[in-house]
């Protein structure tokens, strides 16, 4: 039986970033598919957070939480 869960964008972005930072190739491929399926606004927000995290501009999650 398929279950559907609703979480907020902040929670979604936190989970995506944590999984991405594990660096597992299989997880990253799955996350890319997930990111592609998001609505445009959420997708852009996720991509910005990932870009900031990867480029070493401090802790992206902390900045994300303080910006809201």
Can you give the chain as a three-state secondary structure string? CCCCCCCCHHHHHHHHHHHHHCCCHHHHHHHHHHHHCCCHHHHHHHHHHHHHHHCCCCCHHHHHHHCC
Inside any domain, residue 15: yes
Q: pLDDT band for 56, please (50, 70, 90 cuts).
A: low
Inside any domain, residue 25: yes
What is the number of structural domains in the chain? 1
Inside any domain, residue 14: yes
Which pLDDT belongs to residue 68? 44
Between CA 31 and CA 9, with CA 40 as vertex, the angle to 5 degrees is 65
Which pLDDT belongs to residue 62? 54
Which pLDDT belongs to residue 53? 74
Higher pLDDT, 52 or 57: 52
Inside any domain, residue 3: no
Inside any domain, residue 2: no
User: Average pLDDT for residues 28-49, to the nearest whole number?
Assistant: 87
Q: Is the pLDDT of residue 63 over 60?
A: no
Structural domain of 19 = 9-66
Inside any domain, residue 61: yes
Inside any domain, residue 27: yes
């Amino acid at each position: 039986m398929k279950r559907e869960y609703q979480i907020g964008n902040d929670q979604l972005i936190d989970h995506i970033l944590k999984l991405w930072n594990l660096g597992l190739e299989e997880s990253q491929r799955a996350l890319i598919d997930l990111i592609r399926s998001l609505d445009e606004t959420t997708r852009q927000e996720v991509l910005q957070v990932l870009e900031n995290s990867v480029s070493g501009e401090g802790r992206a999650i902390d900045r994300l939480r303080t910006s809201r």
